[in-house]
Amino acid sequence: MVFVLAKWVYPVFMRIIDEREAKIEASTKAADEAKAAAEKAEAGVEAELKKARTAAADIVATAKTEATAAIEKAEKDAKTRSERIVADAHESLGKEVLKARESLKKDTLELVKQAAGIATAHVADSKLDNAVLKKSLDSVQHPMKEAKS
Protein backbone atom coordinates (compact mmCIF):
# COMPACT_ATOMS: atom_id res chain seq x y z
CA MET A 1 0.00 0.00 0.00
CA VAL A 2 2.88 2.34 0.69
CA PHE A 3 4.17 1.57 -2.73
CA VAL A 4 0.81 2.48 -4.37
CA LEU A 5 0.53 5.56 -2.24
CA ALA A 6 4.08 6.58 -3.03
CA LYS A 7 3.70 5.88 -6.73
CA TRP A 8 0.31 7.40 -7.46
CA VAL A 9 -1.12 9.30 -4.51
CA TYR A 10 1.87 11.14 -3.02
CA PRO A 11 2.98 12.60 -6.34
CA VAL A 12 -0.50 14.00 -6.93
CA PHE A 13 -0.57 15.48 -3.42
CA MET A 14 2.92 16.89 -3.89
CA ARG A 15 1.98 18.40 -7.23
CA ILE A 16 -1.15 19.98 -5.69
CA ILE A 17 0.92 21.27 -2.74
CA ASP A 18 3.60 22.65 -5.11
CA GLU A 19 0.93 24.34 -7.23
CA ARG A 20 -0.65 25.89 -4.15
CA GLU A 21 2.72 27.02 -2.88
CA ALA A 22 3.47 28.60 -6.30
CA LYS A 23 0.08 30.33 -6.27
CA ILE A 24 0.67 31.62 -2.73
CA GLU A 25 4.13 32.91 -3.69
CA ALA A 26 2.71 34.54 -6.82
CA SER A 27 -0.08 36.12 -4.77
CA THR A 28 2.41 37.35 -2.17
CA LYS A 29 4.64 38.76 -4.92
CA ALA A 30 1.64 40.42 -6.58
CA ALA A 31 0.54 41.87 -3.23
CA ASP A 32 4.05 43.24 -2.62
CA GLU A 33 4.11 44.76 -6.11
CA ALA A 34 0.66 46.26 -5.60
CA LYS A 35 1.76 47.69 -2.25
CA ALA A 36 4.88 49.18 -3.83
CA ALA A 37 2.81 50.63 -6.70
CA ALA A 38 0.32 52.10 -4.21
CA GLU A 39 3.15 53.68 -2.19
CA LYS A 40 4.67 55.06 -5.38
CA ALA A 41 1.29 56.42 -6.49
CA GLU A 42 0.73 57.95 -3.05
CA ALA A 43 4.15 59.62 -3.21
CA GLY A 44 3.27 60.88 -6.69
CA VAL A 45 -0.05 62.24 -5.45
CA GLU A 46 1.70 63.98 -2.54
CA ALA A 47 4.22 65.52 -4.94
CA GLU A 48 1.44 66.71 -7.24
CA LEU A 49 -0.50 68.15 -4.28
CA LYS A 50 2.64 69.97 -3.14
CA LYS A 51 3.13 71.37 -6.65
CA ALA A 52 -0.53 72.39 -6.81
CA ARG A 53 -0.33 74.11 -3.41
CA THR A 54 2.82 75.96 -4.48
CA ALA A 55 1.20 77.00 -7.76
CA ALA A 56 -1.93 78.16 -5.91
CA ALA A 57 0.18 80.20 -3.47
CA ASP A 58 2.03 81.77 -6.41
CA ILE A 59 -1.25 82.60 -8.13
CA VAL A 60 -2.63 84.18 -4.96
CA ALA A 61 0.57 86.21 -4.46
CA THR A 62 0.51 87.35 -8.09
CA ALA A 63 -3.16 88.29 -7.82
CA LYS A 64 -2.48 90.31 -4.66
CA THR A 65 0.42 92.09 -6.34
CA GLU A 66 -1.64 92.85 -9.43
CA ALA A 67 -4.58 94.03 -7.32
CA THR A 68 -2.30 96.33 -5.31
CA ALA A 69 -0.79 97.71 -8.51
CA ALA A 70 -4.26 98.24 -10.01
CA ILE A 71 -5.44 100.04 -6.87
CA GLU A 72 -2.35 102.27 -6.84
CA LYS A 73 -2.82 103.07 -10.54
CA ALA A 74 -6.50 103.87 -10.00
CA GLU A 75 -5.64 106.12 -7.05
CA LYS A 76 -2.94 107.87 -9.08
CA ASP A 77 -5.31 108.35 -12.03
CA ALA A 78 -8.05 109.66 -9.73
CA LYS A 79 -5.62 112.08 -8.09
CA THR A 80 -4.36 113.31 -11.45
CA ARG A 81 -7.91 113.73 -12.71
CA SER A 82 -9.02 115.60 -9.59
CA GLU A 83 -5.99 117.88 -9.83
CA ARG A 84 -6.83 118.56 -13.48
CA ILE A 85 -10.46 119.31 -12.58
CA VAL A 86 -9.35 121.71 -9.83
CA ALA A 87 -6.87 123.42 -12.19
CA ASP A 88 -9.56 123.76 -14.87
CA ALA A 89 -11.95 125.18 -12.29
CA HIS A 90 -9.36 127.72 -11.15
CA GLU A 91 -8.65 128.70 -14.75
CA SER A 92 -12.35 129.02 -15.52
CA LEU A 93 -12.89 131.03 -12.35
CA GLY A 94 -10.02 133.33 -13.29
CA LYS A 95 -11.52 133.89 -16.72
CA GLU A 96 -14.92 134.63 -15.20
CA VAL A 97 -13.35 137.11 -12.78
CA LEU A 98 -11.58 138.87 -15.67
CA LYS A 99 -14.82 139.00 -17.65
CA ALA A 100 -16.64 140.40 -14.64
CA ARG A 101 -13.94 143.04 -14.12
CA GLU A 102 -14.04 144.02 -17.79
CA SER A 103 -17.82 144.24 -17.69
CA LEU A 104 -17.68 146.27 -14.49
CA LYS A 105 -15.08 148.59 -16.00
CA LYS A 106 -17.16 149.00 -19.14
CA ASP A 107 -20.32 149.72 -17.13
CA THR A 108 -18.43 152.14 -14.87
CA LEU A 109 -17.02 154.01 -17.85
CA GLU A 110 -20.48 154.26 -19.33
CA LEU A 111 -21.88 155.61 -16.07
CA VAL A 112 -18.99 158.06 -15.77
CA LYS A 113 -19.65 159.27 -19.30
CA GLN A 114 -23.32 159.75 -18.50
CA ALA A 115 -22.52 161.53 -15.23
CA ALA A 116 -19.93 163.67 -16.95
CA GLY A 117 -22.43 164.48 -19.69
CA ILE A 118 -25.00 165.54 -17.13
CA ALA A 119 -22.44 167.52 -15.11
CA THR A 120 -21.04 169.28 -18.15
CA ALA A 121 -24.29 169.77 -19.99
CA HIS A 122 -24.25 173.35 -18.89
CA VAL A 123 -20.63 173.86 -19.86
CA ALA A 124 -19.96 174.15 -23.57
CA ASP A 125 -16.22 173.76 -23.36
CA SER A 126 -15.05 170.39 -24.79
CA LYS A 127 -11.63 170.74 -23.12
CA LEU A 128 -13.29 170.82 -19.72
CA ASP A 129 -15.51 167.87 -20.73
CA ASN A 130 -12.44 165.78 -21.74
CA ALA A 131 -10.54 166.76 -18.57
CA VAL A 132 -13.45 165.72 -16.31
CA LEU A 133 -13.85 162.46 -18.21
CA LYS A 134 -10.11 161.70 -18.02
CA LYS A 135 -10.03 162.48 -14.28
CA SER A 136 -13.06 160.22 -13.71
CA LEU A 137 -11.46 157.40 -15.69
CA ASP A 138 -8.21 157.73 -13.74
CA SER A 139 -10.05 157.59 -10.44
CA VAL A 140 -11.96 154.49 -11.58
CA GLN A 141 -8.82 152.68 -12.83
CA HIS A 142 -6.79 153.28 -9.65
CA PRO A 143 -9.26 151.47 -7.32
CA MET A 144 -9.47 148.55 -9.82
CA LYS A 145 -5.66 148.22 -9.80
CA GLU A 146 -5.67 148.17 -6.00
CA ALA A 147 -8.43 145.47 -6.01
CA LYS A 148 -6.37 143.24 -8.34
CA SER A 149 -3.34 143.29 -6.08
Phi, psi dihedral angles at 13 (to 5 degrees):
-60, -45
Has residue 92 been placed in a domain?
Answer: yes
State the average pLDDT for the chain: 85
Could you give the CA distance from residue 138 to residue 105 in angstroms, rounded to a whole number? Answer: 12
Q: Over 60: is that where the pLDDT of 45 sits? A: yes
Give a yes or no: residue 19 inside a domain. no
Task: Say how many domains are in the chain.
Answer: 1
Q: How many residues does the chain have?
A: 149
The answer to whether residue 24 is domain-embedded is no
Q: Of 17-21, 80-84, 109-113, 137-141, give the lowest mean pLDDT range.
A: 137-141
Q: 43: which residues sit within 8 A by CB, 6+ positions away? A: none
**Is 115 part of any domain?**
yes
Q: Flag whether pLDDT at 129 surpasses 70.
A: no
Q: Is residue 7 part of a domain?
A: no
Does some domain include residue 86? yes
Burial (0-12, 13-18, 19+ Cβ within 10 Å), 22: exposed
Residue 100's domain comprises: 31-148
Amino acid identity, position 90: H
